Structure formats: structure tokens, C-alpha cells
Chain A
Amino acid sequence: MLSLLVWLPVLGGIGVLVAGRDDAARARWFALGVAALVFALAVGLWVAFEAGVAGMQFIERADWISAFGIQYYLGVDGISMPLVVLTAFATLLVVVAAWEVVQYKPAQYLAAFLIMEGIMIGVFSALDAILFYVFFEAMLIPMFLIIGIWGGPNRIYATLKFFLYTFLGSVMMLIALIYLRTEAGSFAIQDFYGLQLPLATQMVLFLAFLAAFAVKVPMFPVHTWLPDAHVEAPTGGSVILAAITLKIGGYGFLRFSLPIAPEASMALDWLLIGLSLIAVVYIGLVAMVQADLKKLIAYSSIAHMGFVTLGFFLIFRILAGSGSRDGALLALEGGMVQMISHGFVSAAMFLCVGVLYDRMHTRRIADYGGVASKMPVFAGFFVLFAMANAGLPGTSGFVGEFMIVLASFQAGFWYAAIAALTLILGAAYSLWMIKRVVYGEVDNEHVDTLTDVTPRERLLLGTLAVAIIAVGVYPAPLVEVMEPSLDALFRIVVPTF
């Protein structure tokens, strides 16, 4: 099942290249077929997944490079399974979003996304450290191409920055993984858990992982590649970047940093918490003054991901503050839910910008104004998504933030107070943008010629709207799937509890 999810999109991508070399329509339909099939499989994975189980499911294990003990080892638990489904969902959206919009080398464009999808699912389901590393690095290539070929005018700087930033981090991780192999005697990630390494070693390992994952999330101060990458990336690239690749950073913290180096995580939690809170406040303020729509949303992504890392690393202080296991779980689950929700909301926001950009070919906020008069349906969607971005209850954006703020109070009043500033800042940058773009008199003759969303766009945005509201109104199924695995993780990280 998992192999199919990994390799079907990769092979499908190659198929698109072959089938659609000189027939764009065939490439689109082929790509849509593959993406839909993968999504259907992913839904099947969710259905077949046993919710009450903490351990890995759908395990596939075979020797790969036996000389080094490297295995082809796949499996998912409650942490990775939702992310796999999210990946398949986002890719399907991207394929539909590209339909008439991408005219330059459409087959290659779609193929790149399908291959990217397979690799990302590989990242989430790899249980062998080297296999994980291979997928983790391989992911850079399609994204590099997507931005480099279909990107904006400044794409070379952006791709280089993106590549070097992320590559530099992951080299550190590779060294850490090889070291862990010598300690554990295998490359299986779960064998790395509970090694009882001395604190100094853990510290080094933790910092190595931090270098890899902090860049991906991205955390302050290694975040500046993201706004540049988003601005230059095509719409689909932004969607995948925001919805999925950022999540790999958060996932890495859960899969590697916390369970492999729990004592170092605890000793260095002040650093992660501090950087997360900076992300919420500093980045929130920076987002407010952006003049470019995509930069604004990119900064807002960083601020929202700050909540994820905040939730993950606050658990030690929550235990110290209230001694409540429920509080710590609330923080962990809040972080996970925030990741899923951000996948929906950021995808929706970037698609909205795409809709505008396709019509106006500008991302400058000042070029808009009064869009609601010309595109009322679009305006409705955009306002809804902006509200979700601002964490309105009843939308998915609320769930994670609510849980994390509630949990952070148990670590101390000030953690919660600073985190809760997002209520004000998130609303300020989201709704101020809406005011300038959507509301007001029709600003210029270009806005005056705008036409409302097409049925295809309506379907895309409508699907996301339903997903966002569904998770907001009834997050229980999502939380239920995650809880056993997060609880198991919690026991590894804090065995004394």
C-alpha cells in the first residue's frame, strides 16, 4: 500500500512526461487521473488505518543495501498518516489548479509535482534513516526545478537561496544519522529511540537535527528563504511548499529530535520556545507591513508554524508548571492539528492569490482594491480563508491555536500571553490585507475588468472551504487518529511520567 503511494505518483509523473510530451490535454488528464488515484488510495489508507493503535502500520520491510544495514522500510503511524493524506490532497489541488493556467511545458510541470508527491509521501513513511534522508534530499530537486523553470523573474536567486539553506541543514543531519547507526547498530529510526545517550552527545545530535528541520519549518532566523521562494514560485509551487514541505520540518522534530534526544530537547527547550515566540510576534508584525500578497502570506505561514514548534517544545514546561499529562498532550496534538490546518489554509490563501495573479499579473497589494465588486464569489472565499488564517472558531485555523494557547498557560502565564498575541496580529495582517484587496471602491481599470471565479476555481476553493470548516467544527476524528501515536511519543520523551 505505502509503496504504491510512493511509487505510483513517481511512475505516473514519468508517464505524464511520456504521454503528454506534445499533447498538453493528454498530459493534464493523465496527471489528473494519477493524482486522483493516489488521493483515493490515500483515503483508503485513512479508512484502513486502525485509530486506536500507537505503533506503525502498513509496514513494508526489505533489505536494500545490506552491507551498511540500510533497509527499504516503510510504515505510518498516527503522526505521519494524516500528513500522507494531506500530501495527496494538496497535489490533486495543484493539478486541478494548473489546468488552463500553466501553458509553458505543462507536461513537465505536472510531472514535477507528481514526482514531488511520491517523494514527499516517501519522507513521511520512511522508517529507515537513510531512506528518509534520500527522500528528504530528493525532494529538493523537483522543487528546485519548479521554481527555477516556472518561477518569476528573480527565480535564480530564490532557488539558490532555497537550495543552499536547506542543503546545508541536511548535511548536518546525515552526519548525525551515521553516528546514530554506530550507536544503535541499525538505521531503523525506531532503534534510535531510548539509546540513553549522554547529554553532551544528545546536544550535538539535537543541534544537527535542528539545523535540518529549523530551516524547513522555517524558524526564525533561518526563515528568509521562504518569502523569496514563495514570491518566485508558481502558484502550485507555493501551495506545495506551504502545505507540505514546511510540515516536514515539524514532522522531523517529532520523529527525530524529541524521541532521539529527549534530554537535549528539554535542556534546549528555551531556545526553541524563544524562537517560536519570536516567530509569532516578530514575524506577525513583519507580515503586517508587506506590500506583496505572497510575501504577506509567506510571513503569516512562518508565524503559524511558530505555533507548531511552540506546541512541541513546550511540553517540558507544561509538565513542570501543572504536572498535567493532558496539558502536554494538548500542546502536542495542537501542534499536529495546526500543521494539518495550515496545510489547508495556506493552500487556500495561495490559490486565492493565484486566482488574482492569473487575471492581473501582479501581486502588489496596492494594485488591487474593490475586488469584491467584480468578483463577489471569490471575495466570499477569500474572506473566509483570511478568517481561518486569523484563527476564527469554526474553522480549522482555530483548533490548533486554541489547544496550544490553552496548553501554554500551563507552562506559565507569559508563554500564553505572548502566544495569544496572534489573535490580534493574525487578524491585523489578514484582515488589513482583505480591506485593501477585496473591499473599497474599484481601484483602477484593471480591477474593473476582473471576472469572477470559473467553475474550476470554484470547485477548488469550495473543496478547501469545506475541509477548513469540517475540521473546525468537528476535529475529533483527526485528533483521535493522532492521539495514540503522540501519547506513545510522549512516553518516550518523558519516560518518568
Chain B
Amino acid sequence: MKTIYLLVVLAPLFGAVIAGLAGNVIGRSNAARIAVAAVAVSALGSLWVLYQHVWGGAPVFDETLYQWAQVGGLSLEVGFLIDRLTAVMMVVVTSVSLAVHVYTIGYMHDDAGYQRFFSYINLFTFAMLMLVMANNFLQLFFGWEAVGLVSYLLIGFYYRKESAIFANLKAFLVNRVGDFGFLLGIAAVLMYYGSLDYGEVFAAATLRPDMSLSIFGTEALVATVAGVLLFIGAMGKSAQVPLHVWLPDSMEGPTPISALIHAATMVTAGIFLVARMSPIFELSDAALSVVLVLGAVTALFMGLVGLVQNDIKRVIAYSTLSQLGYMFVALGASAYAAGVFHLMTHAFFKALLFLGAGAVIVALHHEQDMRRMGNLRRYLPMTHITMLLGTLALVGTPFFSGYYSKDVIIEAVHAADRFGAGFAYWAVLLGVFITALYSFRLYFMVFWGEERIDPHAKAHISHLPGYVLPVMQWPLVALAVPSVVIGYFTIEPMLFGGFFDEAIHVLSDNDVLAKKGETFHGPLAFGLHAAVNPAFWLAVAGAVVAWFFYIARPDLRPALTRPMAPLIAVLERKYGFDELYRDGFAGGGRQLGALFWRGGDQAIIDGVIVNGTARTIGRLAQGLRGVQSGYLYHYAFAMIIGLLLLLTVFVGRWQGWF
């Protein structure tokens, strides 16, 4: 098995190196072939691994590959931990990655940076696999930062574009703020649990759950401190308020990577992290409450921003923020498996929505503004159907995958009695209405209503044969299938069958999913239950409202928006986070730097101390030079004075005057 694990990880690395370093030598199509083949190998390997771990009875694999460094008694290692949680993540990552790779062949086929692009997404797949397969914090941090690097490179892929290179710097720095907390969390883990190896850390944490430390003048549980610090890292990577600001801007990157990195995989690393760290988080209700509340805030308030966006990718980006919030709500309610379950279903339907959006954008010759779309179902029937399926999954239509995963979260948080659970329940419930509203707003604006297409784009679109390119169409279909059905087939085993027992640790008092399991009677009954479920009716309401104001009576829209103008203004400003960070942190940092440089280094140290000393010595020398006048009588006078002084001292000592 070890060989297969290595193969899964190293194949994309190999592809990245070849496509990156020898891309110009082997040419465009060969680079693409190698990259796609590498990820295909990885995806097949991952499926095999999942099969082995679920049906083949493969044992949990926890082994060191090599020792990175040995310091005293502390061993820092690189190694794999493969259990069902890892296996699920591997399959999600590699299968979405494969779809995106294939799609890229079409999407990027005119781009000069073709090989570079394939090299980056191969490298991303490698880094993400290193992250999810780690059995220790060192490698986790490596993968964590490496996916951040690739994200940086890909957001800035169009490096001539000012907005893109602003966005990638912003993304990296905001992520670094999260990593600041993350690294301190790792340091806390090392200090109190004495290792960086997951197994040893979790054992130590479980053994001494009451260990506390003093911080900010109060005593706190180690698990709380470590948990919150690690969660700060998760907030950066998974874009939770207030570290969410980079994700909408990351849409500057090419659409395939918005699907892969900024929707399906990398941004879910934070969810994976908290699920993986469940033995630590379970020890601290406080840490879980932080997760719960911030997740709920993100789920609700970022969804609201999605309502006022007109850029098709940004709507989906805000939707991603909101859905990530749902996942954190699940984690915060101790329903880790539900969080991972939603991660999986979301990966498929959100990647589908992004790739569909990419198809629309390409068809319209790089038009992203939904106000210049409309009625596109006539021109892009396949894209329309697949995106409709994705939308239905996202809003939680019964029997679609998103219904199962989202509904479990809502019910789990309803059953939880942790601080903040009440607020979170209402936030995610209201979020369902908002999700349906922005999703169907997008759907109607793009595919229905009157055609508002730019004539130039129109000319482009009429050349297209019903779909964009076959190579871009198949990934949509391939993602649509799991978006629809995967929830139905996997909810029972994954959530109520003890599927994650070896990977995720939940205290029995906290186990809201087990409580849910008692009333679960199969996916069919669960789907039919929608009829008496407020969430379902909220989703229907959202869709109806969108239909009414965008299709039935668009003329009534001003009557709706006018009284809400102040609220809309706040939403369009995105609550002012960007301005605060730009002026407060970035601007403040620069002003502070300039102050230190000009005031500290130049004025005080160089001006007063260094050059001042030089000047003082110079002046002193000037003065002393006057003494050496060269006139004999000056010297004779000085000698006499000196002699007199010495005599005075000598005589004084002798006489005992002083």
C-alpha cells in the first residue's frame, strides 16, 4: 500500500516538474498530456485507497517516510496517516482536480502560459495531497503553505493585470495572518503535548484533558488556546470572517482554479484541519464555540453580500464563503462528520458551478457581468442543464446531495447545546433562504429573461455549437452526477455508520449526530421529510422570490430595493473590511515603517548618534588643534600651569589638605 500512497502523491509532483521545467521543450500538448496523466494516476490510486479502506479492510496507515531533522529527543518527520478521513479527502481532491485538468485543456488552449498553468495545478494537487495525508504538524504546515504558494501563483497567473497581482499579494498576506496563529498553535502543541506527531499529540491531549496554562493573565485550557490558535490558521485558509477578504478577490485567477482551489479543495483545508484535530477540539467547549459562532457569522453575512454581486464568479465566491461557514458550524457543533460530508458534496457541486460559469464566460468572450447576459439557455443547453443541477444541489433540493449535507448540519446544530448554538441555528436556517435567493438570481439572470448580451460577445457565441468545447463539457457532466446522487448514497454510511470512528473523535456527550442517527430511517425517508422541514420551504421561498423579481415582474425590483438602499450600500461595501485593512493595517504598517526609517534609523541613529559622534569628534579635534598653535610661549605657559597644578596636588597630599 505504501507504494500506492507514494505514487498518488509523487505523480503530480513529477508532472509539475516536467511541465514546469521542460514545458517549452516537450511542447504544449505533451505537457498537458503528462499533467493530466499524472493526476489521473493519482485519482485512480486514491479511489483504490478509498476502496481498500472502506471495503478492503485496509488498516490505518501511520508511518514515517523520512526524518526531516532530529533535535535532541525531538524527531521532526515526514510521514503519512491514511485513514478513512484522509481517503475521502484524497478522492475529493484528485477527482475534482482531474475534472479541472481536463477542462483546462479547453479553457486555456489559447493561452501563452499553457504549460505553466498545468505545472501549477499539478503542483497544487501534490501540495494538497501532502496536506491531507500528513501524520504530523510539520508536514501539515508544509502542505498548508505550499497550497498557499500555488494559490498565490495562480491568482496572479495573468501577471500583467494590476488587479490580479494586487489580489494575489492580498491573498498571500491575509493567509499569512492566519498562518501566524497557526504556527503559534503548532508551537503550543509542541510545548504542551511534547510532539508534532498526530498520534502522540492526540494521545497526550486525551491523557491530560485538564492541562491549563496562563495567558493574558488568566488560566485557560491548553486545548482552548491551541484550538483557537489552530483555528485562526483555518480561518485564513478557509476564508472565515474576518480573514475572508482575499477569497472574492481571488476570482482574478483563471476560472478552473477558482473551481479547484478556491471552491472545492484548498479552501476546505481549514475544515479538514478542525476535523483532523477533533481530539483536541473536543476537549474545549470554548474553542468549539468560537468555531461555531464565526462559522455562523460567515454563513449568514457573506451570503448576504452574494445577493448584490453582479460578477458571476463573485456570486459563487460569496456562496463559497457562506457554505464554508456551514461546514464550520457543523464542526463547532461537534458534528465533524457532517462538516466533512458537506465538504465533499460541496466540492462537487461548487466545482460544477464554477466550471459552468467558466463555460459561460468563455462563450461570451470573457464577459463576467451578469447584467450583460440573459437567455443563455438557448445557446448553451448543456451548460444550462448542468448548472441547473448544481444550483439545485446547492440550495438543498430534496434528494440532491446538498440537501442531505446541509440539512444534517441544520439539525445537528439544532440539537447542540453549546454556547452560540442558538444563534448559529437561526443563522444557518436564514442562510438557506439567502442561498436560494442568490443562487436563483444568478440562474435567472444568466439563463433566462431577456438577452442583454453585448453585440461583440453575441457574435462570438453564435459560432459555438451548443456547447463550448467537448473537452470542457465532459467535466461538467462528470461533476453533475455526484452533485446529484452522492448524498443519497453516502449519507447513511458516512454519518450514521461509524465510518469515521478511527479518524474523528467525539465525546459521547457532544455526539449530536448519534442523536440524529436514532431518528434516521434511510435516505428516502430523510428526503421525504423535506415536506415538514422549514429549511426546505425557506429554499422554495428564496427561489420564488428570485423568480418573481427577475422573471415575472422585474419592473417591481426598484420598489423592493429602494427602501433597502442603506442596507444594500453596506452590502456593496462588503461591510467595509477591505477599506479597514487597506487603510488600517497595510497603510498603517507602511506609515510605521516610514516613521521608523526616517525617524529612527536616519534621524536618531545616523543623524544624532553616528554622524553626531563623528561631528563631535571633529569639533573636539578642531578645539584641540587650537591648543597646538606652534607658538613656544603657549607651550611654556601650559607647562607652567601644569607644573603648578601638580605641585599643588603634591603639596596638598603631603600636608593633608585633601
Contacts and interface: CB of A to CB of B under 8 A. Distances in A.
A202 B188 CA distance: 35
Interface string A410-421: 100100110011
A406 interface: yes
A298 B300 CA distance: 46
Interface string A381-419: 001000100001110001100110110111001001100
B191 A410 contact: yes
A416 B190 CA distance: 13
Contacts of A330: 71-72, 74
Given A406-B187, A440-B165, A287 B180 contact: no
B24 to A, nearest CB: 10
A439 B74 contact: no
A479 interface: yes
B145 interface: yes
B605 A224 contact: yes
B594 A399 contact: no
Interface string A257-280: 000000000000000000000000
Interface stretch (B317-325, B405-413, B595-603): B595-603
Contacts of B74: 326, 330
B142 A393 contact: yes
A333 interface: yes
Contact of A224 (B142, B172, B183, B601): B601
A409 B191 contact: yes
Contacts of B190: 406, 409
Nearest to A164: B614
B658 to A, nearest CB: 29
A44 B379 CA distance: 70
Interface in A418-443: 420-421, 423-424, 427-428, 431-432, 435, 438-441
A459 interface: no
Nearest to A373: B160
Nearest to A322: B191
Contact of B145 (A161, A393, A431): A393
A289 B66 CA distance: 41
Size category of the binding interface on chain A: 35 or more
Contact of B184 (A420, A431, A441): A420
Contacts of A285: 589, 592-593, 596
B160 A393 contact: no
Interface string B580-615: 000000000110111011001100011001100000
Given A476-B69, A476-B70, A288 B145 contact: no
A446 to B, nearest CB: 17
B590 A413 contact: no
Given A330-B74, A393-B142, A439-B156, A420 B215 contact: no
A286 B141 contact: no
A340 interface: no
Interface in A25-76: none
A289 B165 contact: no
A329 interface: yes
A151 interface: no
B187 A431 contact: no
A118 interface: no
A476 B71 CA distance: 9
A406 B68 CA distance: 15
Given A330-B72, A333-B71, A474-B68, A439 B165 contact: yes
Interface residues of B, number: 52
B160 A427 contact: no
A370 interface: yes
B273 interface: no
A165 B600 CA distance: 18
Contacts of A326: 71-74
A420 B183 contact: yes
Interface in B146-178: 146, 149, 152-153, 156, 159-160, 162, 165-166, 169, 172-173, 176-177
Given A322-B191, A387-B149, A406-B190, A288 B71 contact: no
Interface string A323-338: 0111101100100000
Interface string B494-509: 0000000000000000
Contacts of B141: 393, 402
B191 A327 contact: yes
A152 interface: no
A370 B162 CA distance: 10
B622 interface: no
B69 to A, nearest CB: 4
Interface string B169-203: 10011001101100110111011000000000000
A480 interface: yes
Contacts of B173: 424, 427-428, 431
Given A224-B606, A329-B71, A439-B165, A405 B596 contact: no
A475 interface: yes
B163 to A, nearest CB: 11
A413 B593 contact: no
Contact of A405 (B169, B176, B183): B183
Main secondary structure of the interface of B (DSSP, over half): helix
A467 to B, nearest CB: 17
Nearest to A327: B191
Contact of B187 (A324, A409, A487): A409
A356 interface: no
B68 to A, nearest CB: 6
B87 to A, nearest CB: 24
Contacts of A405: 183-184, 187
A423 B605 contact: no
B3 interface: no
Interface string B120-163: 00000000000000000010011011100100110010011010
Which of A224, A326, A398: most chain B Cβ within 10 A?
Answer: A224
A133 interface: no
A221 interface: yes
A479 B72 CA distance: 10
Nearest to B175: A427
B145 A406 contact: no
B67 interface: yes
Contacts of B177: 424
Contacts of B71: 326, 329-330, 333, 403, 479, 483
Contacts of A483: 70-72
Contacts of B69: 399, 475-476, 479
Nearest to A417: B184
A480 B605 CA distance: 40
A286 B169 contact: no
A426 to B, nearest CB: 9
B172 A474 contact: no
Contact of B149 (A392, A417, A428): A392
Contacts of A161: 610
A238 to B, nearest CB: 19
Nearest to A286: B597
Given A409-B188, A440-B160, A435 B169 contact: yes
A329 B76 CA distance: 13
Contacts of B590: 288-289
Contact of A420 (B67, B146, B152, B180): B180
Contacts of A439: 156, 159-160, 165
Given A282-B600, A329-B71, A439-B165, 8 more contacts: A221-B609, A330-B72, A402-B141, A406-B187, A410-B191, A420-B184, A431-B169, A476-B66
The 7 closest A-B pairs by CB, nearest first: A409-B187, A285-B593, A326-B72, A289-B593, A393-B142, A439-B165, A329-B72
Interface of A: 161, 165, 221, 224, 282, 285-290, 322, 324-327, 329-330, 333, 370, 372-373, 383, 387, 392-394, 398-399, 402-403, 405-406, 408-410, 413, 416-417, 420-421, 423-424, 427-428, 431-432, 435, 438-441, 474-476, 479-480, 483, 487
14 contacts: A165-B610, A285-B592, A324-B191, A372-B159, A398-B145, A402-B138, A405-B184, A413-B215, A417-B184, A420-B184, A421-B180, A423-B179, A424-B176, A476-B70
